[in-house]
Homo-oligomer: A and B are copies of this chain.
Amino acid sequence: MKIVLLGSGNVATHLAKALKGKGEEIVQVYSQHLDNATILAQSIATEAIGDLNEIKQNADLYIISVKDDAIESIAKSLKNVTGLVVHTSGTTDINILSSQVTKAGVFYPLQTFSKEKEVSFENIPLCIEANDDSQLTILSNLAAKISREVYKLNGEKRKVLHLAAVFACNFPNHLYALANKILSQNNLDFEIIRPLIAETADKVMSNLPENVQTGPAVRADESTLNKHLSMLTDMPELQNIYQTLSDSIKLTLK
């Protein structure tokens, strides 16, 4: 397939490398910042463009992988293409595309991407949607080339998944950061807590989290909870989070 990639951020970068790795032909990379497009385009040996008017009109697939609020204006510039146009957003409706183009779809990788770290696409769930069955088949075949986990989900389910992902990924990572804040204020290195983080995640690979909860709140150990809250007197923001999450854990006991 001839693919035009619109975007050069974390998702676009990882997706481009995965597609290229499976032999797909990425014919252009667009970014409103040509410099960014150039960095990504060079890494996959293709053309970079910084002007939407230069987009090739004869590609098979256009992947819009930009901030949610920029998707619509890019879709408008693709009104005349005959290929399939997809976005990679968890929260954005497919209608934002199908109101502009004939063949519309969604290609949402459920993963956290950072430029700092390579990821293997094989294990990344890809959630796909299209506005007709033949386009869904095309997306499904493409997705299956780079991932073993392909889910056909409508927009409502995809939005639920994106919300759940904030609880399962963004919030835990922030709690790791707060743990590091507590440690570093006491000259303890983050290294000491890494095995605990790894095991906590590993435990729910074969269990449901509600069945393996540990800690003072689930034991209703008020003595430890109160000690911890008093240790956080000088950090009221963390004290509030400690109280809120401990109360929520205790609710599961009822």
Contacts and interface: CB of A to CB of B under 8 A. Distances in A.
A113 to B, nearest CB: 7
Interface string A181-216: 011001010101111111111111111111111111
B188 A198 contact: no
A94 to B, nearest CB: 15
How many subunits of this chain does the assembly comprise? 2
| Residue of A111, A175, A238 ringed by the most chain B CB atoms within 10 A | A175
Given A172-B175, A177-B252, A200-B201, A214 B151 contact: no
Interface residues of A, number: 93
Interface string A215-254: 1111101011001100110000110111011001101100
A209 B69 contact: no
A164 interface: yes
Nearest to A249: B174
A213 to B, nearest CB: 6
Nearest to A206: B117
Interface of A: 10, 67-69, 91, 110-114, 116-117, 119, 123-125, 149, 151, 156-157, 159-180, 182-183, 186, 188, 190, 192-219, 221, 223-224, 227-228, 231-232, 237-238, 240-242, 244-245, 248-249, 251-252
